[in-house]
A and B are shown apart, each in its own frame.
Chain A
Amino acid sequence: GNSVTQMEGPVTLSEEAFLTINCTYTATGYPSLFWYVQYPGEGLQLLLKATKADDKGSNKGFEATYRKETTSFHLEKGSVQVSDSAVYFCALFRSNDYKLSFGAGTTVTVRA
């Protein structure tokens, strides 16, 4: 079945540090891959997505590249801010069943 495994947290960083959150997936076919983010007190929000191999999704300084050869979709940001403190969820979507399969989430705390 479809599954997503992401790096366990929590992750604590200083401002301007480099952030990487690893995500790998298992799926048949060609899923779309997503990163969703949940800021404190808010719902899950789509951060970025990639729909095919070698696509790079980017938003708010975050990037992730769909790597089919390593079945990975690692999230990166070169210089984090306190406002990036949130829980980040990697997710996989297959259009034949319209379901998102999520990872467990990684809590990121950025300190000033």
Chain B
Amino acid sequence: EPEVTQTPSHQVTQMGQEVILRCVPISNHLYFYWYRQILGQKVEFLVSFYNNEISEKSEIFDDQFSVERPDGSNFTLKIRSTKLEDSAMYFCASSGRGARTGELFFGEGSRLTVL
């Protein structure tokens, strides 16, 4: 069964360093998302991406964050200069026609720890 894959599963970084989290969405999907969950808190929407551009972003997704789909398969989230409060589990998701009904397919998540 097709699945969304994310790498790395866990990354530890120093404050101020750049981090890139990678995702391979399901191949025929067109909508891509990043969500995050700070430990003990809600899963929060960060950004959605469709047709090679950001379609929506939350207030969390400030200038330190960026997303790219550099080739036909990867979807990346970059944090330019990490802060302690960026420590969280980051989930990538993709969707096909189910994007219009909320049916997203999620990866296993990438845990980011900022020291």
Interface pick from A11-19, A67-75, A94-102: A94-102
- A91 close to B (CB within 8 Å): yes
How many pairs of residues, A versus B, come closer than 8 Å at their CB atoms?
65
A105 vs B106: C-alpha distance in the bound complex, in angstroms?
Answer: 15
The DSSP consensus for interface residues of chain A is strand
Interface size, B (range)? 20 to 34
A34 touches B102 (CB 8 A): yes
A51 touches B101 (CB 8 A): yes
Q: B27: shortest Cβ distance to chain A, in Å?
A: 16
In the complex, chain B residues whose CB is within 8 Å of the CB of A4: 42
A96 vs B103: C-alpha distance in the bound complex, in angstroms?
Answer: 14
Interface pick from A21-29, A41-49, A58-66, A77-85: A41-49
A19 vs B36: C-alpha distance in the bound complex, in angstroms?
Answer: 27
Q: B21: shortest Cβ distance to chain A, in Å?
A: 14
Known pairs A93-B102, A98-B100, A99-B48; A43 contacts B55 (CB<8 A): no
A102 vs B37: C-alpha distance in the bound complex, in angstroms?
Answer: 10
B41 touches A98 (CB 8 A): no
A49 touches B102 (CB 8 A): yes
- B99 close to A (CB within 8 Å): yes
A29 vs B101: C-alpha distance in the bound complex, in angstroms?
Answer: 15
Q: A22: shortest Cβ distance to chain B, in Å?
A: 16
Give residues 31-46 of A contacting B (CB, 8 Å).
32, 34, 36, 41-46
Given A43-B91, A44-B104, A44-B106, 11 more A-B residue pairs with CB atoms under 8 Å apart are A34-B102, A43-B108, A44-B43, A46-B103, A46-B105, A49-B102, A95-B102, A98-B56, A99-B48, A100-B102, A102-B43
